[in-house]
Amino acid sequence: MHLVAIGFWGGFFATVALMLAAALAAFAKSHHRVALSAALTSLLSALFVVSYLGWLTVPDTALEARLLAHVAILSAVLLGLMLMTELGLLREADVARRIRRRMLAVAVVTLVAGWLLSPRSALALSSVVAFGIGLAGLLVAIRGGRRGDRLAWIAVAGVVFMLAAIAGLSWIALDRRGVPWLVHPASALAGMAYLTSVGAMLWRRYSYLIELREVLAQGPRYDPVTRMQSAAAIGHVVGLAFLHQQENPARPLILVAVSIGNLSALEQRHGRAAFNHALFVCASRLRRCVPADLEMARLFDDGFLIVARDAGDRQRMIQLSRLLALRLSQPVALSTSAMASDLEAGQTQWTPQVGLGLLAATSHEDPSVVIARLGDMSRIACSYVSCIARYDEASGRISELLSTDTA
């Protein structure tokens, strides 16, 4: 092997060691699932590389090819399942069971077919199937990214690098002497990029758990609205927005209130930790959906406020409200304990009862009256099918915003 190639593969195994060290650190902090995911990803990747580079002490070439075929399928299936877990596709028991059965069926069929072929053909078949599993994971990640999951785009980058590494290592395994030496550094770089992408995904999850631990432990002292302004500052936020609207009175100020109607019932049944976790999750979902040019703040104990200072397009805010009603009402697995070891294990399933109030206001109105009206509208909307209420300026009444309604 070329000296440059050796150096690049050394960099890859250094990345593996670094990821294992991070897994140990996460395990020491009682975040066992994050630690297990990081350790399995790094170890499986290292096993795949060591096998395909021919560094296993197997004297028989045919036996080595059979072994590599099994390693390829095992690694592809496990890494594919871990990717789907990180993307949240295995949260529902029925879906998870169906996906695991299909992955197991693919692995069994591939291995059985491989034994009917020559060792070299079996290795080629397993490599192709591993590449196909990676392509399926890429399509799943792209679909998740297009639906608004930012974590999925990191997964897309990681899977692309993984596919490049699989292609290069398959070439190396099938033609060790004839493969150009540049394939080695390219494959090593792709492997390092893949591990880095997985590390970024796991870090986002780990940092989320660190913040969630503070939320469950401290409650109101640690604002679960996740870097939004507190409810105490709501008057100041709306007041500044009204002052800004006076400069351009032709464009109304549009406000959206979001209420979670069943938070109090959740607290009474499962305690304050579950309440804080639910509020934290809802705020995180809200922050991922709301564009950066809109301002967010807490609204009372069970809601949020979105202020659009320059939103002349009401249709945009209607579409945003419908998106929020859809995203915020998704079920979530909540922790009922603030113990670090319990944060990743959802102990109760809860579905938020969401209501949104959409209101266009002018600077001539009293901010406190507008806030109170918005709160009432969002709570009333919890009983609507569309989960959205709007204020009709002409009649002065609150009505449901139907799916067919426009600005």
Averaged pLDDT in 10-residue chunks for the chain of 407 residues: 82 91 82 82 89 82 87 88 80 82 91 90 90 89 80 87 90 84 90 90 76 62 50 62 65 81 83 81 83 77 77 74 86 68 61 86 73 83 84 73 64
3-216: CATH architecture? Up-down Bundle (1.20)
Q: Say what the pLDDT of residue 189 is.
A: 93
**Which residues in the chain are classed under CATH 1.20.1070?**
3-216
**Which residues in the chain are classed under CATH 3.30.70.270?**
223-400
**SS3 of the chain:** CCHHHHHHHHHHHHHHHHHHHHHHHHHHCCCHHHHHHHHHHHHHHHHHHHHHCCCCCCCCHHHHHHHHHHHHHHHHHHHHHHHHHHCCCCCCHHHHHHHHHHHHHHHHHHHHHHHCCCHHHHHHHHHHHHHHHHHHHHHHHHHHHHCCCHHHHHHHHHHHHHHHHHHHHHHHHHCCCCCCCCHHHHHHHHHHHHHHHHHHHHHHHHHHHHHHHHHHHHHHHCCCCCCCECHHHHHHHHHHHHHHHCCCCCCCEEEEEEEECCHHHHHHHHCHHHHHHHHHHHHHHHHHHCCCCCEEEEECCCEEEEEECCCCCHHHHHHHHHHHHHHHCCCEEECCCCCHHHCCCCCEEECCCEEEEEEEECCCCCHHHHHHHHHHHHHHHCCCCCCEEEEECCCCEEEECCCCCCC
* CATH 3.30.70.270 holds for 223-400: yes
Q: Say what the pLDDT of residue 260 is.
A: 86
